[in-house]
Amino acid sequence: MPEALRRLGRCLAPWTFLRIDVDRPLDGLARELQGLHGRLADGTLQATSLLLPGPLPGLRLWHRQADGEHYVYVEDMAAGCLAGTTVLNRLVEVGRAVDPHVRSPHSRYLPAYQRRGIATAVYAWALDSGICLVSGARQSPGAYALWQALGRRYGLGYVQLSARRLRWLGTAVVVAPALADGLDTRLMLWSGARERLRWLDGLARA
């Protein structure tokens, strides 16, 4: 992590000390979305309409589930194109005991549709459905800001991937910077009381 970002993290809220050094390229995204939209239109990509409580005027959401992973496609009906996608991936690093509870979200939206609350609405839908969201090893600044905003409405804390399980670290990492910087240290969002996360190692001692 660049030193400037490290210093910034120490000045902000305790959980902002994490890797925010990735900005994903959008090269080829428009072509990828065009192909997905065509498959949705001709029925080769089977998906069902997804209704979210928040207002997303002019947008229609499609949901598909395959092999335990969730795919959400956001369609701009007036423009006749896909605005972007959110995928809730399984974590290959965890075992069977943890797998049913967690997914790792990854969103890609065209620039014109960013900062409109779309990914926030999709993540909130997943959380309200009982899915716990675990961040990737690195996050873009935009994704990091999204997680912090959701953390004001849902539970937000640190976990560590260890021996195919998740170990609870707490709502703030106040230990050595090496732990906060480690690629196996992640943010996790959840809905409801923290006590329901009994499958987390170390939670009883938190």
Q: What total of structural domains would you count in the chain?
A: 1
Q: To 10 degrees, what angle do helices 141-150 and 118-128 make?
A: 50
For the record, the structure tokens of 127 come out as 């959380």
pTM to 2 decimal places: 0.84
CATH of the domain at 120: 3.40.630
Domain holding 200, by residue range, is 3-205
List the Cα angle 172/179/140 in 5-degree steps.
75
Helix residue spans in the chain (DSSP H): 3-11, 29-42, 118-128, 141-150, 177-181
Residue type, 45: L
Task: Render each residue's pLDDT in the chain as its tens digit; 206 residues.
Answer: 444 444 434 434 444 445 555 555 667 999 999 999 999 999 999 899 888 866 688 999 999 999 999 999 999 999 999 999 999 999 999 999 999 999 999 999 999 999 999 999 999 999 999 999 999 988 888 888 999 999 999 999 999 998 899 999 888 765 556 666 678 899 999 999 888 899 999 886 54
